[in-house]
Structure 1
Amino acid sequence: MNSLENFSKWLQEEGRSSGTIKTYLQIESFQKWWVAEKIADRFEPEEVTVLDLQDYKQFLVQHARNKRGGRLAAATVNKLLQVIRTYFKFLIETGVISYNPALKIKNQKIQKSHNTVRWLEDKEKIRLLRKINNPEGMKNTWHYKRNKAMVYTFLMGGLRVSELAGLIIPDLGLAKRRLTVHNGKGGKERDIPINDDLFQALSEWMEIRKESPDEIVFLSQKKGKFTLQGIEHVISKLGEQLGLEDFTPHVLRHTFCHDLIIKGYALQVVAELAGHEDLNTTRIYTMPGERETKKAVNSLSMGDSF
């Protein structure tokens, strides 16, 4: 069994999800880079130094490219650095190496910008709710009930696309009004209370989808499991009908988090509900949106003073 297979097995034993394991196996890119840089025959983990890792970080920042040919975002660089930290932790715990060179590697600084996160403004949210709660003109009741329940699960439950796609019927505790996410980021499980609006939307959907033997909560048009792209397409199409730009499932999730912050709930509460591992992620939602800042500046107009 090679080192990557051992690493994969170790990650499984750590309770990491299949998606997380796939991400961490990107360590192979670092191994190939190291072999090329050292003009070595093979990767030797015990010979990796702090300087090697610092050089690799600079390579990621200055030379590595994403699929579109652009430079890697700081957040992407930091994810790859976390892959390295986890890999060397594995090597330490399994006795492959005795010194961990990754301990001194710091993350790339991220320039804070609230414009990178979009949530629905109040008027947009009202338009969405009016549309999704009005079945007039809807030719397919099955689709209408499903799409409405999906929107409410994002908007009132704050789920990620992958989490919604992975929901199965036992996850819906409608009697206890609690929704359980088993496939959260980092393999973590969390419970989310189901409010009245979400309860009604889910109940209506479950009533009409009950004929399907599949355990998946949200079924595709062919009555099978939804792909992530399929879910994103449904939400994007709804956004087009509403005339909303950049309308995605993540925008609905951002709206869930932002609305909770605006209502005065503590960062820790919002982080728990959203499944954030770092409070700095949740803190983004304390920043004003672009329209809020524009409204604030426009309010300073002197036009009515003359």
Structure 2
Amino acid sequence: MDDQVQDFLHYLIVERSLSKNTLDAYRRDLAQYTHHLTEKESLTSLKDVRRVHIVNYLYELKDNGRASTTIARNIASIRSFHQFLLREKETDQDPSVHIETPKAERKLPKILSTSEVEQLLEAPDYSTPFGKRDRAMLEVLYATGLRVSELVDLNMEDIHLTMGFIRTIGKGNKERIVPLGRMARDALQLYLDEGRSALLKRKKSEALFLNHHGERLSRQGFWKILKKLALHSNIVKPLTPHTLRHSFATHLLENGADLRAVQELLGHADISTTQIYTHVTKARLKDIYSTYHPRA
């Protein structure tokens, strides 16, 4: 089974050009799935997999407290895998064909208020190279709505400060050009002038944002930085690397931005994904009404 999983992952790399994060998700999902088939179902060949085996695995995920979104992602991974095996004539049937995907709960994204964003942006100590880097990263995230993976993947050639935009490669290997506001440009320029060279330590790197080794900062590295800055800024709300992206979209819509424009800026393939932010703005309006209207 391991060889067939590797063949499938190779297909995803060559034919589908999926991102590293998506490939890692497929790899984890299928490793857990094939482990279940061999250990719990005592199967030795993928030709013997039937619908009941997949259903048993999904019930196991549910019993372990996995969210409906996680189960839905696993179903998608399993279905793609079995379709690949059928096309490659490794099996003669697709046991996943009638598996139903659970409806995902649409949870409203957590966002920061504009004052909380200001608190966070002021948290880095930008008298130091690391502080200049951290301030630049936060400013860029809030100014552009980039995903954190897109942020840490930025190279020097992707930044066009004079023209005021950033070039990024998003999901599905799609390129998009995102405008860069004045304050983000100023923070980036300060980092490039006084911070990056100190972090580079005479090394060579095309990466824009560097760690203390002078190498490209990782997503995990950014997450640790964000948690530290959240403590310094006294923000009590749960804060994740996606919070600034959510805040970017919500604040744009609250100030009258067109939904289609926000979709383009975020790099969403489907506008229904962007529409979740309209629910956030309505929820906030209701909270404001309840708090401030004298007869609410």
Query: What TM-score, normalized by structure 1, do the two folds share?
Result: 0.81
Q: Deviations over 1:198-254 (max 9, x none)?
A: 222222222224633322111123433223232223222222222112234321111
Q: Deviations over 1:15-66 (max 9, x none)?
A: 12233222212313222323345433x132x3333343333323322x2x3x
Tell me, in whole angstroms, the C-alpha distance in 1 between the residues paired with 2:83 and 2:176: 26
Unaligned runs of 5+ in 2: none
Aligned to 2:104: 110
1:302–1:9 CA distance, 2 compared to 1 (3 A)? closer
Q: CA deviation at 1:111?
A: 2.7
Residue in structure 1 matching 2:26, options 19, 24, 30: 24
Tell me, in whole angstroms, the C-alpha distance in 2 between the residues paired with 1:198 and 1:271: 21
Residue in structure 2 matching 1:295, options 273, 288, 291: 288
> Secondary structure of 2:178's partner?
strand
Residue in structure 1 matching 2:177, options 172, 188, 191: 191
Q: CA deviation at 1:260?
A: 2.4
**Pair 1:8-2:35 in alignment:** no
Q: CA deviation at 1:261?
A: 2.3
Q: CA deviation at 1:156?
A: 0.8
Tell me, in whole angstroms, the C-alpha distance in 1 between the residues paired with 2:183 and 2:81: 44
1:161–1:81 CA distance, 2 compared to 1 (3 A)? same
Amino acid at match of 1:39: S
Q: Which moved further from structure 2: 144-153 or 237-246? A: 237-246
**Pair 1:149-2:136 in alignment:** yes
Tell me, in whole angstroms, the C-alpha distance in 1 between the residues paired with 2:234 and 2:35: 47
1:47–1:176 CA distance, 2 compared to 1 (3 A)? farther
Alignment of 1:1-306 (within 5 A): 2-13=3-14, 14-25=16-27, 26-40=29-43, 42-44=44-46, 46-61=47-62, 63=63, 65=64, 71-114=65-108, 117-129=109-121, 131=122, 138-140=126-128, 142-182=129-169, 184-209=170-195, 211=197, 212=200, 213-245=204-236, 246-288=238-280, 292-302=285-295
Q: Deviations over 1:181-203 (max 9, x none)?
A: 23x34444333222333222222
1:195–1:302 CA distance, 2 compared to 1 (3 A)? closer
Q: Deviations over 1:245-291 (max 9, x none)?
A: 22343211111111222233344432332233444432221123666
> Secondary structure of 1:287's partner?
helix
Q: Does the 8 Å CA contact 2:119/2:233 hold for their aligned counterparts?
A: yes
Percent identity of the aligned residues?
Answer: 26
Tell me, in whole angstroms, the C-alpha distance in 1 between the residues paired with 2:101 and 2:256: 31
Tell me, in whole angstroms, the C-alpha distance in 1 between the residues paired with 2:252 and 2:89: 46
Tell me, in whole angstroms, the C-alpha distance in 2 between the residues paired with 1:105 and 1:279: 26
Tell me, in whole angstroms, the C-alpha distance in 1 between the residues paired with 2:52 and 2:269: 29
Q: Does the 8 Å CA contact 1:154/1:249 hold for their aligned counterparts?
A: no
Equivalenced residues, count: 286
Query: What TM-score, normalized by structure 2, do the two folds share?
Result: 0.83
